[in-house]
Structure 1
Amino acid sequence: MLHEPSDNAAFPRLTEEELACLEDIGTVRRFSDGEQLFDLGEMDYSFFAVKSGAVRILDHSHGEPREVALHEANSFAGDVDLLTGRPAVISAVAKGDCETIEVTACRIRRMLGEIPTLSDKLLDAFQLRRARLESSGFLGIRLAGSSHSKETMHLQEFFYKNKVPHTLFDTDTDAGQKLLREWDVTEKDTPVLGCGKRVVCKPSLADVAECLGICRDIPDELYDVLIVGAGPAGLAAAVYGASEGLQTLVVDRMGPGGQAGQSSRIENYMGFPSGLTGADLANRGYLQALKFGAQFTAPVSVASIVQDDSGVHVVSFCTGQKVRTRTVLIATGASYQRLPLDACERFEGMGVYYSATSVEARLCRESTAVVVGGGNSAGQAAMFLSQHAADVRLLLRGNDLRKGMSSYLADRIEKQSNIEVMCHTELCEMAGDKHLERVEIRNNQTEEREMLDCPSAFIFVGAKPHTEWLPDSVALDDRGFVMTGPMIHHHEKLPEGRTPCELETTSPGVFACGDVRSGTTKRCAFAVGDGALAITCVHQYLQ
Structure 2
Amino acid sequence: MGQPAILTVDDDPSVSRAIARDLRRRYADRYRIIRAGSATEALDVLKELKLRGGRVAVMLADYRMPQMNGIEFLEQAMDLFPHARRALLTAYADTDAAIQAINVVDVDHYLLKPWDPPEEKLYPVLDALLDAWQATGDQELPDLRLVGHRWSEPSFQIRDFLARNLVPYKYFGADEPEGRRLMEAADAGPESIPLVVTADGRALPRPTVQEVAEAAGLSVTPGRDFYDLIIVGGGPAGLGAAVYGGSEGLKTLLIERQAVGGQAGQSSRIENYLGFPDGISGAQLTDRARRQADKFAAETLNTREVVGLRTDGSARTLTFADGGEISAHAILLATGVSYRPLLAEGVAGLTGSGVFYGSAATEGPACAGSDVYIVGGANSAGQAALFFSRYARKVTLLVRGDSLEASMSYYLIQQLAQVANIEVRTRCEVIGAHGDGHLQAITICDSKGGTKATVECGYLFVFIGAEPRTDWLGDAVQRDEKGFVRTGSDLLANGERPRGWDRDRDPFYLESSVPGIFAAGDVRANSIKRVASAVGEGAMAVALVHRYLEAQ
Q: Mean Cα displacement is larger for which, 137-146 or 502-511? A: 137-146
The reply to whether residue 462 of structure 1 matches residue 465 of structure 2 is yes
Q: Distance in 2 between matches of 1:297 and 1:67?
A: 36
Q: Distance in 2 between matches of 1:148 and 1:333?
A: 29
1:265-306 CA-to-partner distances (Å, cap 9, x unmatched) read 111111111111111111110100110110111101113222
Of residues 252, 270, 273, the one that matches 1:269 is 273
The reply to whether residue 410 of structure 1 matches residue 417 of structure 2 is no
Q: Distance in 2 between matches of 1:304 and 1:498?
A: 27
Percent of residue pairs bearing the same amino acid type: 37
Q: Distance in 2 between matches of 1:122 and 1:187?
A: 48
Q: Distance in 1 between matches of 2:509 and 2:154?
A: 41
Question: How much has 1:137 moved relative to structure 2?
Answer: 6.7
Aligned residue in 1 for 2:6: 6
**Superposition RMSD in Å:** 2.6
TM-score computed with the length of structure 2 as normaliser: 0.75
Conserved in 2, the CA contact under 8 Å of 1:144 and 1:190?
A: yes
Conserved in 1, the CA contact under 8 Å of 2:253 and 2:300?
A: yes
Aligned residue in 1 for 2:513: 506
Of residues 496, 499, 503, the one that matches 1:493 is 499
Conserved in 1, the CA contact under 8 Å of 2:309 and 2:476?
A: no
Quick one: which amino acid aligns to residue 383 of structure 1? L
Conserved in 2, the CA contact under 8 Å of 1:147 and 1:363?
A: no
Q: Distance in 2 between matches of 1:229 and 1:379?
A: 25
The reply to whether residue 538 of structure 1 matches residue 542 of structure 2 is no
Structure 2: gaps (5+ residues): 8-22, 31-51, 58-122
Of residues 198, 209, 222, the one that matches 1:205 is 209
The reply to whether residue 142 of structure 1 matches residue 148 of structure 2 is no
Aligned residue in 1 for 2:448: 445
Of residues 241, 250, 274, the one that matches 1:237 is 241
The reply to whether residue 381 of structure 1 matches residue 384 of structure 2 is yes
Aligned residue in 2 for 1:95: none
Question: How much has 1:161 moved relative to structure 2?
Answer: 2.1
Aligned residue in 2 for 1:330: 333
Q: Distance in 2 between matches of 1:143 and 1:131?
A: 20
Q: Distance in 1 between matches of 2:143 and 2:395?
A: 32
Q: Distance in 1 between matches of 2:294 and 2:229?
A: 15
Aligned residue in 2 for 1:153: 156
Of residues 169, 174, 188, the one that matches 2:172 is 169
Aligned residue in 2 for 1:127: 132
Aligned residue pair count? 443
Aligned residue in 1 for 2:192: 189
Question: How much has 1:119 moved relative to structure 2?
Answer: 12
Of residues 425, 428, 437, the one that matches 1:425 is 428
Aligned residue in 2 for 1:298: 302
Quick one: which amino acid aligns to residue 338 of structure 2? S
| Secondary structure of residue in 1 paired with 2:349 | coil
1:96-126 CA-to-partner distances (Å, cap 9, x unmatched) read xxxxxxxxxxxxxxxxxxxxxx999987535
Quick one: which amino acid aligns to residue 204 of structure 2? V
Cα distance change on mapping 1:419 and 1:187 into 2, 3 Å: same
Aligned residue in 1 for 2:79: none
Question: How much has 1:344 moved relative to structure 2?
Answer: 1.6
Q: Mean Cα displacement is larger for which, 313-322 or 377-386? A: 313-322
1:16-46 CA-to-partner distances (Å, cap 9, x unmatched) read xxxxxxxxxxxxxxxxxxxxxxxxxxxxxxx
Question: How much has 1:132 moved relative to structure 2?
Answer: 5.6
Conserved in 2, the CA contact under 8 Å of 1:488 and 1:494?
A: no
Any residues of structure 2 matched to 1:276-315 within 5 Å, and which? 276-309=280-313, 311-315=314-318
Conserved in 1, the CA contact under 8 Å of 2:143 and 2:168?
A: yes
Quick one: which amino acid aligns to residue 501 of structure 1? F
Conserved in 1, the CA contact under 8 Å of 2:267 and 2:384?
A: yes
Quick one: which amino acid aligns to residue 220 of structure 1? R
Q: Distance in 2 between matches of 1:520 and 1:295?
A: 26
| Secondary structure of residue in 1 paired with 2:318 | strand
| Secondary structure of residue in 2 paired with 1:6 | strand
| Secondary structure of residue in 1 paired with 2:542 | helix
TM-score computed with the length of structure 1 as normaliser: 0.77
Question: How much has 1:498 moved relative to structure 2?
Answer: 4.4
